[in-house]
Amino acid sequence: MDATPESIELYCRAAHEYKASDLILHVGEPPIVRVSGSITPMEAPPLSLDDLMAFRAYCGVPSEATDHDASFVSREGNRFRVNFHKQLGQEAAVLRRISNTPPDIDGLGVPSAMLKSMAARKSGLLVVSGPTGSGKSTTLAALIQWVNTNLERHIVTIEDPVEYVFERDMSLFTQRAVGLDTPSFAQGLRRSLRQAPDIILLGEIRDADTAMVALQAAETGHLVLSTLHASDAGEVVERLMAFFPDGERKGHLQVLAGQLLGILCQKLLPSTAGGMVLATEFLTNIGLSRQCIREANLPALRNFISQSDPSESYDFLSSFLDLVTTRRIAEDTALLAVPNPAELKRRLRGITSSSS
């Protein structure tokens, strides 16, 4: 098909104007946008099956596919990551709006100084975790853009699909899409080791094969940046451990403890000023935390994070406390999202757990 249906173009234009994070399309229903975390139907006619099927064809979705990821650029140059799927037997799609330019890492609300320090390393593994829609890809894109403007590196990205298209500044880019340029994350990562990379941006660690190759890449002198679906730093380590075969776990934990640079965990929350704000947890993997990982002692690892110097590591509780006391998020919002609401209440009342 030579062009996208006019209805899809109009929906995408509106989503961009609303600054929506997502555009949700169900056949027979008006399009829905997600703005600042809330979903709102557009004042528009219901989406027709013909238009959605034409949009699928334009994005190159195989006719037999029930679930398929794709990239889409509207006529106005607005970029979207698209997931085509079915619900109740009907065609549907969700378009995630992607900024054309990666944001400034210093404006995201992440520990940018620590991330920059890690991104300047010659080797190791940095993991960004959080639920879908928490801004993991945006954070990594912003970090890669900082590298691009400050360091001479060859950066290989392996994504499904490619989100941000980087323009060369000080760094050289090789960007590969799973399904188009390489069959899988694991194979793309394995082949990238022969492509003279300094930094490998891996869209997601999804399986044991990918996890093993990512550690191998870090161990052989490459900096690997990737994402993982996990709620906190301890769960990131736990999920990575689960990829290791039982008989080989001890050796792999030794490698993980030595190669892991850090873990950033993210949660996006409604801000009191409108829009969204990030709550974060951060682990700088040093000394004692390496020992916790080698011994698979997750309670001790979480305790290490909560008691560390905040300039190196801090937990979600500290981040939520700061966001509430500076009135960037409401207390009720924090209590619904924080892992330990009772402790947050005590901290907000000025009572530490040690004196309770």
Give me the DSSP letters along 81-128. Answer: EEEEEEETTEEEEEEEEE-SSPPPGGGSSS-HHHHHHHHTSSSEEEEE
What is the per-residue pLDDT for 356? 44
pLDDT of residue 176 exceeding 70: yes
What is the per-residue pLDDT for 179? 84
What is the per-residue pLDDT for 355? 47
Query: What is the rounded CA–CA span in Å between residue 291 and residue 300?
Result: 10
Locate CATH 3.40.50.300 in the chain: 105-314
pLDDT of residue 350 exceeding 90: no
Query: What is the rounded CA–CA span in Å between residue 177 and residue 25?
Result: 24
Structure-model confidence comparison of residues 162 and 283, the more confident one: 283
The arithmetic mean of pLDDT across residues 224-233, rounded, is 96
Ranges 132-136, 196-200, 225-229: which has the least confidence: 132-136
Stated pTM of the model: 0.86
Indicate the DSSP class of residue 248. G
3-state helix, strand, coil in the chain (%, to 5): 40, 25, 35
The rounded mean pLDDT for the chain is: 93
Q: How far is CA 67 from the centre of its chain?
A: 20
Our separate counts of H helices and E strands in the chain read 13, 13
Query: pLDDT band at residue 15, thresholds of 50, 70 and 90?
Result: very high
Architecture in CATH of 105-314: 3-Layer(aba) Sandwich (3.40)
Strand order in the sheet with 172-177: 172-177, 154-159, 199-202, 223-228, 124-129, 260-270, 276-284
What is the per-residue pLDDT for 352? 53
Locate CATH 3.30.450.90 in the chain: 6-98
Strand order in the sheet with 68-73: 38-41, 32-35, 22-26, 90-98, 79-87, 68-73
Query: What is the rounded CA–CA span in Å between residue 325 and residue 161?
Result: 39
The arithmetic mean of pLDDT across residues 325-343, rounded, is 94
pLDDT of residue 9 exceeding 80: yes
What is the per-residue pLDDT for 34? 93
Task: Enter the tokens of residue 127.
Answer: 């993991």
- Topology (CATH) of 6-98: Beta-Lactamase (3.30.450)
β pairing state of 172-177 and 154-159: parallel
pLDDT by residue (tens digit) across 100-147? Answer: 789 999 999 999 999 999 999 999 999 999 998 899 999 999 999 999
The arithmetic mean of pLDDT across residues 238-258, rounded, is 94
The arithmetic mean of pLDDT across residues 250-277, rounded, is 95
